[in-house]
Structures are given as structure tokens and as C-alpha cells.
Structure 1
């Protein structure tokens, strides 16, 4: 039988709801799924991307966070430390500046002075662990950042959807549809948690954080004095994967037949501007190979390039967008089979 933590909201028409598209929540969800067996539903391609970014020693650094039967992670090493503002880079800065004593104090506070076995190596060498943890997160984010950029239009649409619902007094409908793993029962929201507890919202702000990982994403922190935050799957994350990252492979669609599988993937991936390095990482090819194909597509008028500082940015032209729409199997993207 699955256990749940209960968040008692009070009168639903009085709940103050806001949204933050925070990169660090997605980052934590990715490593929780890939290295912590938390079942957030991250698709195979993204799992491979994340796993390849982390060496074996780095994966060992993450074990204390995801031991079976535990859901507690010190706030100072989670997105809680910088929500609702900041981004992944801001969290990395905070981790670099994190005092080992602060981590030790939070561990003692969280576990009542009896630190579980998985955290004891951290207690023995807190500064070394903090450094390793920050390094792992930065490695994963370097690989996943191009995917986040492609997700940004979907994140903006979700912010607009939630904002419109709140303005129209329909916050209850938003809470009912966050995730199949969450359940709104009367004035309480039930969240899956092996260490079931009960919290009162108590007039605090409820911050919703859409997560770009998989349809099973579930994260939350309910003990801050000013707000509680709940991470939930970005709606349509399956379609996002299918639409934004089509890896080279056997020719199956008209666009690939016309321009080739890799160039088809380039065109589909550049609906939003990407740097050449981001594009190469996204398509799992060398920068030289990506540059060659982008040059051919630019000569054909399907891509445009511009330099900003040290980076070359690539994006589709109107002609490129029209070609993708015309040749992408009727312009529709099938629902991903989650």
C-alpha cells in the first residue's frame, strides 16, 4: 500500500497559487530517476544523456539522497535553497559557497541527531561531498540544457494556463489536474511519500514548479515558513520529447527522406535558437559534424546563423519552419506512449 503526505490547504478559494519554471527542480528529478530509481518516467534517450554525463564515482555521490524508504533531503542541497528565483547556475553558486557546517546542522535537524547510514560518509567528509555533488549536477546540466531550451515555449504556455486559471478563480481545477500521482480530496492535497506526514498550508503561498523530466515526476518541500513548493510533470512532456529530439536513425518520415535523418533532426531541434555546442550535444554528434550540416541547411535558406560573443546561434528560418510543417507527416506529432 502506497503512503501519502497530506497538505491541508484550507478554503481553496483562498489559496495563493503561483508558478516558477525552475531549472534545478528538473535537474534533481532527472538524477532521482536515473540514479535514485525514483520512477519519474524519464524517457530512455534522456536517461542515456544523463547517465553518460556522470562518471561512476559521481554516481556514488548521489546515493545518500535516494536511499530506499527515505524522502528527506537537506534543503541546502535542493532547489528549496533558491526557489522561487534563480536558476541552475545560481544553485551551483550556492553549493560552491555552502558551508560544510550548514550541511551538518541540517542533517542533524532533519534526522533528530541520528543520521541514517547512507549519510554517514557525508558527515565524515562534508566539504568533499559538497564539491562532488555540485560537480555531478553541473555535468548533468551541461548535457541537458539544450533540452530545457527547447522546452521553454511549453513552460511559458503552462505559466499562462495556470495564471489564467488563477485569475478566473479556477485554482481548484489546476490542483486537480497536476498529476495522476497527486489527489485533491476536499481541502487536502495528497502527495506520494514513503514517510507520510501531515502539513498545514496555513496561509503560505503555494508555488507550482513544472518539471521537464517524465510523467511521473513528484517533488515537494512543505516546511518553509514563507511558501510550499510542489514539482509536477510539465503537461505534454511526452509530446515535447517526440517533437524536439528526434535522433538520427532509419528513414521513416518525409522530412528525413528529403533532407536526411540528421538534417531532419537539426531542423526539428532548432524551433528555438540553440548554440552550435548545444545542438551537437542534443543530437549526440561532433561539433564539426553539426557545423557541416548546419552550413548546408543555411545555404538552402532553411537555417540562419548569428554570432553573439563567442557563440554561434542557430535557428530555423520561416522557410525552414514551413518545410518542417509540410513534411512532418501531416504536421502532427503523435502522442508519446507513456
Structure 2
């Protein structure tokens, strides 16, 4: 069990952000354990082909070695996002600027669970020379394997953040952490996390940056060291819809009633989503999705709410009745 202790300034300093570097680094776990990450098999199949290309494999090797299954990640490799719309290049610059002493400290913090890999040992001995190779490996892996699907991934993460931000604003920290993940409990001045790591951190007025993670499938993952910038990654909602594409199948009885495009949207709107998110997931233009949503809204099958700068759509009870009938539930 771990706990993070909050002061008033820390509660006020809770932030939600998308971290491109986290998604890039943690995607390696899916390649190593495809059964555990079976939801990502469409991406895994493509990424493995990419990694087999010799010119990619040799340059990505440093990242591969630091992200072996069940190996803790050094904190400097996954820095909390400095702002909600941070770009990969900014995070890579932050990693590249890590002082050698911090690289050494963070690498040693990962060793209680597994010994360092050969590259990890080399980086421990000469961080100033080898850290640029690691930064290059992350950039290349993003460009080759993550960037082609980034708009789809980003849309899912953005929809999750819109939902979580609304819970935090409307219900407060207790409900926010209670709904963030089943392993978390809010005890008034601390978050208790049901995990095997036994961390005990005082945030000390620094706040906490949280990002949803596509490849974080079981627990909330925290930075390892109290002196690192406080950050955590929680499993994103509705990850099972990430790789769904195209309209509803022709055999779907609901499609025969409302049309394949509108049926596809209804199947996805068990959880709230934005127009952009839906467009990426069904392979339509935003304009076409908006037209379908307008028709579903007029028919009372979906509802629309605004949360900050986001407009979210979700099935109404009438829409759910149609879905349950079509699914034979």
C-alpha cells in the first residue's frame, strides 16, 4: 500500500494533462506482453513490424532495454507534463536536461525489483554521454510507432480528462479520487493506493500532476521518489474502444433502423465522448459525425453537455434501450 499526503495547496494544485512521452515509453510494455495488453493487438501487430526494421531496432534499443516487463521506470524518463497541451519535444528537452546525479539516483531507485539492463548499467556509469541516445530512442519510437495513431490516442485521453475535470470541479477531491480508480481511497488529507510499492510521500505544496494512460492497464502508477516532481498515471476510460474503426457491421439490427453511421456512434456512447474523439474512432469526418449527432440529439437518443471547453455526448436512457434491444440484452 502507498500513500500521498496532501496539504491545502496540494489539493488546489491537482492538474490533469496528456503526456506524449508517457504513452511512447509505456507502449513498449504492450510489445513485450501482448496477451496482457490484448486490447491493443491491432497496434501491437503494426508496431512489431516497425521494430523489426534494422534501422529502427538499433536506434530504439536503449528504450527497449529500460522498459522490460515488470521493470520500474526511472522517474526522469516520464516527467509530469508541465502543462495540459505539452508537446513531445518539450518533454524530450526536459529529459535531456536531467542532471547526471538525478539520472543516477533515479536509475538506482529502480533496482530493488530488477537489476539494471546492460544499457541501464552503461547509462549509470556515463549519463552525460548516453542520455542523448535514450532521448533519441524515445523520439524515433514516437515518430515510427506512436505518431501514426496519435490523433486517435489523443482524442481518447482528451475525452477522459474532460470527464475527470468535471468530477473534480463539481464533486471535489474525495469523489475525484474515488472514481479515478478502484484501488484509490481519499482519507481527507491523503490518497491511499492499494498497490505493492509502499510509497509514502508528502507532496509538500507541490501539487500533483495526473495523466491518463492508454498502456497503464491495472493500477495507478506513481513516480518512485518523493524528491521527484509528483506525478501519477491512471488507466484511461473506455480503452476498449480505442482501435474500433468503421461503421457498425451490416448485420447489426440497430444499423438497419437508424443507419450504420448513427448505430456506430450509439455503440460508442456508453461513455461520454467529444465529436473529435468519435470521428477518430469511427473513421468519419467531424462534419459527418456532427450531422449524425444532431439527428440523434433531436430524436432524444443522445444528450449533450458542456464541460469547460469540451462538448460531450452520451447516450440517453432511450438510446440505451435501443442498444440493449439490438444486443439482445
TM range (shorter): 0.5 to 0.7
Question: Aligned-pair distance for 1:271?
Answer: 6.2
Q: Is the 8 A contact 2:153 2:242 kept in 1?
A: no
Counterpart for residue 83 of structure 1: 82
Aligned residue number for residue 98 of structure 1: 96
Residues 153-176 of structure 1 deviation map (CA, whole Å, 9 limit, x = unaligned):
44323212212223xxxx223223
Q: Counterparts of 1:225 and 1:122 in 2: how far apart (Å)?
A: 21
Which runs of 5 or more structure 2 residues have no equivalent in the other structure? 303-314, 325-329
- C-alpha displacement at 1:88, in angstroms? 3.7
Indicate how the Cα distance of structure 1 residues 241 and 110 shifts in structure 2: closer, same or farther if over 3 A, else same: closer
Q: 1:165 to 1:25 in 2, by over 3 A?
A: farther
Q: 1:27 aligns with which of 1, 8, 23?
A: 23
Give the TM-score of the pair, scaled to structure 2: 0.63
3-state DSSP of counterpart to 1:245 = coil
Task: Provide the secondary structure at the position in 2 that maps to 1:43.
Answer: helix
Q: Secondary structure at the match of 1:15?
A: helix
* Structure 1 residue matching 2:287: 3-state secondary structure: strand
Corresponding residue for 1:65? 66
Mapped to 2, the partners of 1:63 and 1:114 lie a distance apart of 15
User: 2: CA distance between counterparts of 1:39 and 1:19?
Assistant: 32
Q: Name the residue aligned to 2:275.
A: 272
Q: 1:184 and 1:219 mapped to 2: Cα distance?
A: 16
Asked if 1:7 corresponds to 2:4, the answer is yes
Question: CA shift at 1:136, angstroms?
Answer: 0.8
Give, in angstroms, the shift of residue 64 of structure 1: 3.3
Cα shift at 1:52: 4.9
Alignment partner, residue 204 of structure 1: 206
Q: Which one is further off, 127-136 or 35-44? A: 35-44
Moved more, 257-266 or 49-58: 257-266
* Residue of structure 1 equivalent to 2:170: 164
Distance 2:66 2:187 in 1: 30
Pick which of 260-269 and 83-92 moved more.
260-269
* Separation in structure 1 between the aligned mates of residue 110 and residue 167 of structure 2, nearest angstrom: 44
TM-score normalized with structure 1 length: 0.62
Closer/same/farther in 2, CA of residues 223 and 46 from structure 1, 3 Å limit: farther
User: Please, which runs of 5 or more residues in structure 1 have no aligned partner?
Assistant: 284-289, 295-302, 304-313
Q: How do residues 1-338 of structure 1 correspond to structure 2 at under 5 angstroms?
A: 4-9=1-6, 15-24=11-20, 27-28=23-24, 30-31=26-27, 33-35=29-31, 37=33, 43-45=39-41, 47-48=43-44, 51-52=47-48, 54-56=50-52, 57=57, 60-67=61-68, 70-75=71-76, 77-80=77-80, 82-91=81-90, 93-94=92-93, 98=96, 102=98, 104-111=100-107, 116-118=115-117, 119-122=120-123, 125-151=130-156, 152-166=158-172, 171-184=173-186, 187-191=189-193, 195-213=197-215, 216-221=218-223, 223=225, 228-234=230-236, 237-238=237-238, 241-242=240-241, 245-247=244-246, 251-254=250-253, 272-273=275-276, 314-316=286-288, 318-322=290-294, 331-332=319-320
**SS of match in other structure, 1:117:** coil
| Equivalent residues of 2:211, 2:232 under 8 A apart | yes
- Once the two structures are superposed, residues 38-97 of structure 1 have per-residue CA deviations (whole angstroms, 9 ceiling, x without a partner) of 99867235653773574142774433333456424141x2133x43454243446526x8
Q: Does structure 2 conserve the Cα–Cα contact (< 8 Å) formed by 1:61 and 1:129?
A: yes
- Structure 1 distance, partners of 2:199, 2:19, is 27
Distance between the aligned counterparts of 2:163 and 2:196, measured in 1? Answer: 32
Separation (CA, whole Å) in 1 of partners of 2:243 and 2:295: 16
Q: 1:47 to 1:266 in 2, by over 3 A?
A: same
Q: Do 2:71 and 2:110's aligned partners in 1 also have CA atoms closer than 8 Å?
A: no
**In the alignment, what sits opposite 1:311?**
none
- What is the number of residues matched between the two proteins? 286
Structure 1 pair 26/117, CA: closer, same or farther in 2 (3 Å)?
closer
